[in-house]
Amino acid sequence: MKKILATVAAVALTATAAVSFAACGSDKLVVYTEAGFAPFEYLSNGNIVGVDVDIMNKVGEKLDKKVVFENANFDVIIDTVAEGKLTNVGAAGLSITEARKEKVDFSIPYYTASLYVIYKVGDDSAPVVSESGANGSVIYWDSLAGMKIGIQSGTTADLFLSDELAEGGSLAGTGAARTAFTSLSVAVNDIGLGSNVVIIDELPAKTLVANNDGLACLPLYYKGDTVEEDEAAVDEYAIAVTKGETELLNAINEVLQELLDTKDADGNNGVQQLVMKHLNLATA
């Protein structure tokens, strides 16, 4: 009984501390992220950096708050933001979905991403590459039939794959299976071992392929009746905010709109410029 009471007391103390931290930390803005999603958030010399980090630092400047980034598992970020005790904002390359909108408020979209398939070049189990896609070589969902498909748990790729595996989906009944990982790097290392392919967003896919010899990636498409009807699997990124945190949401939207309205000589907006910077593609 003492152990139970002690546990209950510890939980209560933890909850109180969390509420107190949120209440008294008015000079801080705690942001939950998942630092394995380059170029949006990743570790460099032990520090969390990336596009989302740059964006939220600009928000901190606007609100005159110090921004503190907490590295968390991706699949807990939305629920933690929704609860609003440990953090009021999540910035982690989050995609807007109807289910997530029921829990949190989203900023304006700031980046549109396409899903890509990472596979091992020359592997007999690699998916069939089609040359008939609207934008050149692509991989169609049905070419992943029977494969073990790796994803990072809780990502949009996970949601898309779950739909395709469900009844009526292009992979339903084909023997295809989902393998979930907590990080992208672990998922990619499993290609050719437990998984045939990994599905993830375009920029992280290209970054991971560039750093792993023998791997390649291509966009993932739904097959239409004609080339013109082929449709890419895409989603939009936004920043998640606890419902009711209007001042914070407005500040985030102001920063994002300023970035989207800022264009360089090549027509790239401010977010795209940040992406290029963190991919080491920015020009002097």
pLDDT digits (tens, 9 = 90+) for 125-166: 889 898 866 568 999 999 999 999 999 887 778 888 999 999
pLDDT digits (tens, 9 = 90+) for 65-88: 999 999 999 999 999 999 999 999
pLDDT on residue 208: 84
pTM above 0.75, yes or no: no
All domains of the chain, ordered by start, with CATH?
2-111+236-278 (3.40.190.10), 113-234 (3.40.190.10)
Residue 217 one-letter amino acid: C
Instruction: Say whether pLDDT at 284 is over 60.
Output: no
